[in-house]
Structure 1
Amino acid sequence: MKNPNTLNSKKGFTLVELLVVIAIIAVLAAAGFAGGTAAMNKARKVTAQASATSVQTAIEQFYAEYSALPDVEEQTDTSEGELLNILAGLEGTGNNIQNDRKIRFLSLKESKNGKRDGVVYSANGSSIDSLLDPWGQPFYVVLDTDYDDQIRVTPQGSSAVTLNGRRAAVYSLGVESVGEAKPSTLVKTW
């Protein structure tokens, strides 16, 4: 005959067994979180690279069409929409229209919240206010405005680089704050 106390003692988990299972789950969750963070950062870099390349390609197409670069400052960023509006064919009216054929060289996705990752349009949607990277910072654009096929780029947190045979260079700092920028965080088109 079976002892009823023996049957009851085999049911359930002991406190030690339960704590071991919880510890294992915690270790696996921490490892998964670290891997997830790295994957998210990699996805942000890929998105930023695609946007930077699109801007550079649009500048090259503009040059091929008009035999000149957009008439903006040699070093600019995309927090102001002048360059973007020229490339997107959204310039207003006036005497200094550079893309008079209204060719859309640049077409990027719209930012979902207006604070990061995409084009931010004006309130009425008729022009571009800015282009932000996935970290909420503008992209930086350097143009060969003297047409000598040489650009000097000095990204924040990095040393200067001279690029030969280029008309434009576009980069993102790859971080949420300018002070955090390092050479390893840059997302660049060169």
Structure 2
Amino acid sequence: MKTHPTRRKSGFTLVELLVVIAIIAVLAGAGFAAGNAAIQKARKTTALAACTAIDQAVSQFYAEYGAMPTKDTTSGETDAPALDTKTDKEFLNILLGLNETANPPLNTRANKFLSVKEGKKKGTTDGTNGIIYNADGKTVLGLFDPWGGTYKVILDTGYDERVMPAPKGGGGPVNPLNGRHSATWSDGADGVGAAAGNAADDVKTW
């Protein structure tokens, strides 16, 4: 009697399906990690461009007026505390040639020294990835980094062409930056600065 070989039914077995699903999951995870790394790199590039623009604006303002774009009158070797581009709006208004609260204004010619991209508003007091103007267009709400944080700026209010950013962890020696009118940085994705001991992802101009 002639026997016929048993034919396997077409389709995948459960094991084969699980293997395929596992491979897809691994590839998707790798793709997500690579994509997130690319996004963070692009954000750091954007943040560095803004930091550099601020430093350049300060230098241009100093070349024009022979002064720092601030009302602070600190003199000597100790520089004023770092400005924040959300809370210290007057600093931005001065660099942008917008309305100043002080009389007389520092930017008397209303020159626009700072050029940065316009960001997106978040709520009524925050923003992300650029400068946010108030509704009247005559003043600013703030300048925000790509993570929704702000930029910090130390100015050479001592007029000795040196600035001294805080060291990591808030302790240890302060290394002055010579030949500078300002130093600007962003605390990065984690929003934690050098003073707290976490500066690995900071974006800075030095």
2:137 pairs with 1:125: yes
1:170 and 1:94 map into 2 onto residues whose CA distance is: 24
| Bigger helix fraction | 1
| AA in 1 matched with 2:205 | T
Distance change (3 Å), C-alpha of 1:87 and 1:47? same
2:76 alignment counterpart: none
Cα displacement string for residues 48-72 of structure 1 (whole angstroms, at most 9, x for unaligned residues): 0000000110111111111211124
Counterpart secondary structure, 1:42: helix
The structural deviation recorded for 1:183 is 2.5
1:11 alignment counterpart: 10
1:110 alignment counterpart: 118
Deviates more, 1:158-167 or 1:120-129: 158-167
Q: Provide the aligned length of Structure 1 versus Structure 2.
A: 188
Spell out the pairing of 1:1-190 with structure 2 (5 A cutoff). Answer: 6=7, 9-73=8-72, 74=80, 75-79=82-86, 80-92=88-100, 95-114=103-122, 115-154=127-166, 157=169, 160-178=174-192, 182-190=198-206
Q: TM-score, normalised by structure 1?
A: 0.88
Counterpart secondary structure, 2:200: helix
Q: TM-score, normalised by structure 2?
A: 0.82
| AA in 2 matched with 1:183 | A
| AA in 2 matched with 1:140 | K
8 Å CA contact retained: 1:88, 1:104: yes
Cα displacement string for residues 55-92 of structure 1 (whole angstroms, at most 9, x for unaligned residues): 11011111111121112443211113111110111024
8 Å CA contact retained: 2:90, 2:101: no
| AA in 2 matched with 1:167 | H
Distance change (3 Å), C-alpha of 1:149 and 1:174? same
Unmatched runs of 5 consecutive residues or more in structure 2: 73-79
1:94 and 1:161 map into 2 onto residues whose CA distance is: 33
